[in-house]
A and B are shown apart, each in its own frame.
Chain A
Amino acid sequence: AQKITQTQPGMFVQEKEAVTLDCTYDTSDPSYGLFWYKQPSSGEMIFLIYQGSYDQQNATEGRYSLNFQKARKSANLVISASQLGDSAMYFCAMREARNNNAGNMLTFGGGTRLMVKP
């Protein structure tokens, strides 16, 4: 079974509007972390935001926030006030505690391509 599922291959959003990118995950490990990365067309991977499984509050970083619903195993990324520069691929990834001794490995979803319309 897929550990990280991103069900939206592509999405459009109007500039200045908010958009939610979905991410669901599958783990039996009670301790894990979830990461979101942005990949612009130039190809680099840019870290955006992190949510730990024991964090009491949803993570926020500037215009990025996480809608973390632990019981539903979802960690959706919310981008507020979209900008043209937000057009990119977005990847959700998970690190499980049991993999800590296996190198802090990340498991990635297939990504969502976000296109911001002017």
Chain B
Amino acid sequence: DADVTQTPRNRITKTGKRIMLECSQTKGHDRMYWYRQDPGLGLRLIYYSFDVKDINKGEISDGYSVSRQAQAKFSLSLESAIPNQTALYFCATSDGNRGLSNQPQHFGDGTRLSIL
């Protein structure tokens, strides 16, 4: 079983719809992240969370919101989806207890979101 699970894996929806992408992890990490990847580009950070009570905006948070329901769950919402939010979305986790360490972020398999 995957350590970081994203659902759904693929989603096609229409402009104006509310969308929720979910992420759950079994790694016991306290830090969780949401990124988006546009074709031919690297990942850009949308939101990150230290723990359930600590959520922070990343580089491109406009148009998105998040909820950290539990240590293991971090969901991303698009309140009113627009076509330029079509992208590949990744959830990631890391162990925040190790400071600046060599521990990588661990990624889910991604959610391909298409907004028509």
Contacts and interface: CB of A to CB of B under 8 A. Distances in A.
Interface of A: 4, 9, 31-33, 35, 37, 42-45, 47, 50, 52, 91, 93, 95, 97, 100, 102-106, 108-111
Contacts of B107: 37, 44-45
A74 to B, nearest CB: 17
B42 to A, nearest CB: 3
Given A44-B110, A45-B107, A104 B42 contact: no
B109 interface: yes
Contacts of A110: 40-42
Interface of B: 31, 33, 40-45, 48-50, 56, 58, 88, 90, 92, 94, 96, 99-102, 104-110, 112
5 contacts: A33-B101, A44-B109, A91-B43, A103-B31, A103-B33
Given A44-B107, A47-B104, A104 B40 contact: no
Nearest to A110: B42
A109 B43 CA distance: 8
Among all A-B residue pairs, the 7 with the closest Cβ atoms:
A108-B42, A45-B107, A47-B104, A103-B48, A50-B102, A108-B43, A43-B110
Given A43-B110, A91-B42, A111-B42, A106 B100 contact: no
Nearest to A98: B100
A43 B88 contact: yes
B58 A52 contact: no
Nearest to A35: B104
Nearest to B101: A33
Contacts of B41: 110-111
B44 to A, nearest CB: 8
A4 B48 contact: no
Best-buried of B44, B50, B107 by chain A (most CB within 10 Å):
B107
Given A103-B33, A103-B48, A111 B40 contact: yes
A100 B99 CA distance: 7
A43 B109 contact: yes
